[in-house]
Amino acid sequence: MADQYILKMSDITKRFPGVLALDHVSLRVKKGEVHALLGENGAGKSTLMKILSGAYVKDEGEIEVFSQKSELGNPKAAEDLGISIIYQELNLIPTLTVAENIFLGCYKMSNPVKVNWKAVYQEADRLLEDLGVDVKSTDYIRDLGIAKQQMVEVAKALSKDAKIIIMDEPTAPLTERETKNLFRIVKKLKEEQVSIIYISHRLEEVMEICDRATVMRDGCTIKELDIANVTMDEIIRLMVGRELKEKFPRIEKQIGDEVIRVENLCAGSRVQNVSFSVRAGEVLCVGGLVGAGRTETVRAVFGLDARTDGRIYIDGKECNIRNPKDAISAGIGYVTEDRKGEGLILKLGVGENVTLAALDAFKTGIHLNLSKEKNTVKEYVSKLNIKTPSVYQKVENLSGGNQQKVVLAKWLLSKCRVLILDEPTRGIDVGAKIEVYSLINELAKEGKAILVITSEIPELLGICDRVVVMARGKVSGSLSREEADQESVMTLAVGAEERGKQHEA
């Protein structure tokens, strides 16, 4: 009988300077299954997948693909064996067409020096049609939304005859409808006997779409299990190594006077007469559908995007915020939804990132007091439980959850009084999420005014003191903590959206 496993990774070990990233890790994947790879940020999932895709070379262990031992020493070797990876940050060139991206580096040739463009576009159209996606081979990547770009990545993998596709947090940037379409594609690939290694922190999705799972923790394999025979709580316990008693911890606190008030804010076509206020010690959550204008609103408040109208008051005094420097001077901090693109400088160390918004505090004449800076950074690394071998470690080498903590540390060090958090738990694991929720509580208890944008309604309901819902660039309603539930939030988000469409019609 043929081996049912098309992939076996046994006793894989990987070391980096000062860090044992993988300690005799094993992974087995069956033909035509969706196999979840689970674990907290920093568990070793990404390192293991980089070894499988040829980006890293293992130090010890064995890899078998289709019962043949392989070293997988580079990405080309992995591709030749039918292994493709779709990273969370998609690997496409915006200025090229869909077809050019799908076959980049392996164009079909009419002769040794001439590309057969007709064949390239025909084959691209066939792949897209087989996937059932509404994308044309002639479309430019820059004109596609993130969900359609993801489908191009899948087509790209299939063009290389991939038999194992690794999907890293594929639904993180997707709407609910786009997620359902992705699941349709995954099920179709499964029927065609393609194996999917599915990395996600959204355990509800794992329970719905995956057949089996391997759980990792601290660079080790903890358990291989069948999804049908396990509960979500059991998976969480295996991931974090402890019982999580309360997902949304609450603490006693006092809500004080108004700290920030925004009146009739307008910014481009996506923000129209938006008004809200946040008091000291209050957590105001902003709900709404993707595209409702929430991010555009807070970007305008922080001075990243220009306001065309409206006023901003701090402690009752009007502030003229024209840029982020003005916002920081006014005591506003902003944790952007794109932590890698806008919140961090990935090539710099932990310490340099943490002190970016508060360098004046370390000035001595024309120089920086590096000793004081280092000691302060160590204090915040300890306070926020940032897992890093040193304060000099490049931020790009940290897990998503620890990167997010570095961004938070930056704004805490700046002594901001208003903290805006845009999708603060996106792409981080369940344990790190609870740490972020606890930190939000502590900051509110200290008297900071907290504004949180989140697309996860359970999270919104779990951490809010009050909710504002946006739709089509406007505030569609406000709810107290007692009034807010899933139905009331969605009614304000979807109802206003539908009324707006009917009005336009």
- Quick: pLDDT tens for 195-210: 999 998 888 899 999 9
Dihedral pair phi/psi, residue 146, rounded to 5°: -60, -35
Which pLDDT score is estimated for 505?
Answer: 37
Label residue 269 by pLDDT band (50, 70, 90): confident
Label residue 243 by pLDDT band (50, 70, 90): low
Q: Which of 389, 371, 432 has its CA nearest to residue 407?
A: 432
Element (H, E) at 99: helix 98-102
CA-CA distance, 416 to 328, in Å (whole number)?
7
CA-CA distance, 55 to 475, in Å (whole number)?
46
Contact 48, 12 (CB under 8 A): yes
Length of the chain: 505
Contact 490, 288 (CB under 8 A): no
Which pLDDT score is estimated for 435?
Answer: 86
Label residue 426 by pLDDT band (50, 70, 90): confident
Terminal C-alpha separation, the chain: 62
User: What does DSSP say about strands 195-199 and 220-226: parallel, antiparallel, or unpaired?
Assistant: unpaired
Contact 217, 40 (CB under 8 A): yes
Label residue 245 by pLDDT band (50, 70, 90): low
User: What does DSSP say about strands 332-335 and 220-226: parallel, antiparallel, or unpaired?
Assistant: unpaired
Q: Tokens in use for 36?
A: 């979840």
- Comparison of pLDDT for 137 and 106, the residue scoring more: 137
CA-CA distance, 29 to 496, in Å (whole number)?
46
Which pLDDT score is estimated for 3?
Answer: 65
Contact 359, 325 (CB under 8 A): no
Which pLDDT score is estimated for 175?
Answer: 73
CA-CA distance, 188 to 209, in Å (whole number)?
12
Q: Tokens in use for 479?
A: 């709810």
Match 């006077």 to its residue by tokens. Answer: 257
Per DSSP, 340 falls in state: I
Enumerate the domain spans of the chain.
5-245, 257-331+417-496, 340-415
- Helices 232-240 and 430-445 pack at an angle, to 10 degrees, of 80
Element (H, E) at 130: helix 117-131
Element (H, E) at 394: none
Match 């897209």 to its residue by tokens. Answer: 128
Q: Which of 255, 253, 235 has its CA nearest to residue 244?
A: 235
- Quick: pLDDT tens for 23-50: 999 999 999 999 999 987 778 898 999 9
Match 């280092």 to its residue by tokens. Answer: 374
276, β-bridge pairs: 262
Mean pLDDT of 255-268: 96
Query: What's the whole-model pTM score?
Result: 0.66
DSSP string, 231-293: -HHHHHHHHHSS----SS--------SEEEEEEEEEETTTEEEEEEEEETT-EEEEE--TTSS
CA-CA distance, 56 to 41, in Å (whole number)?
18
CA-CA distance, 5 to 29, in Å (whole number)?
5
Contact 331, 314 (CB under 8 A): yes
Helices (H) and strands (E) in the chain, counts: 16, 24
Which pLDDT score is estimated for 18?
Answer: 74
Which pLDDT score is estimated for 475?
Answer: 95
Residues near 139 by beta carbon (within 8 Å), at least 6 away in sequence: 97, 98
When mean pLDDT is compared across 142-156, 211-225, 487-501, the lowest value belongs to 487-501
Contact 248, 256 (CB under 8 A): no
Residues near 114 by beta carbon (within 8 Å), at least 6 away in sequence: none
Mean pLDDT across the chain, nearest whole number?
89
Quick one: what percent of the chain has pLDDT higher than 70? 96
- Comparison of pLDDT for 412 and 97, the residue scoring more: 97
Count of C-beta atoms within a 10 Å radius of residue 458 = 12
Label residue 465 by pLDDT band (50, 70, 90): very high
341, β-bridge pairs: none
Per DSSP, 398 falls in state: S
CA-CA distance, 124 to 136, in Å (whole number)?
8
Q: Tokens in use for 325?
A: 């420097």
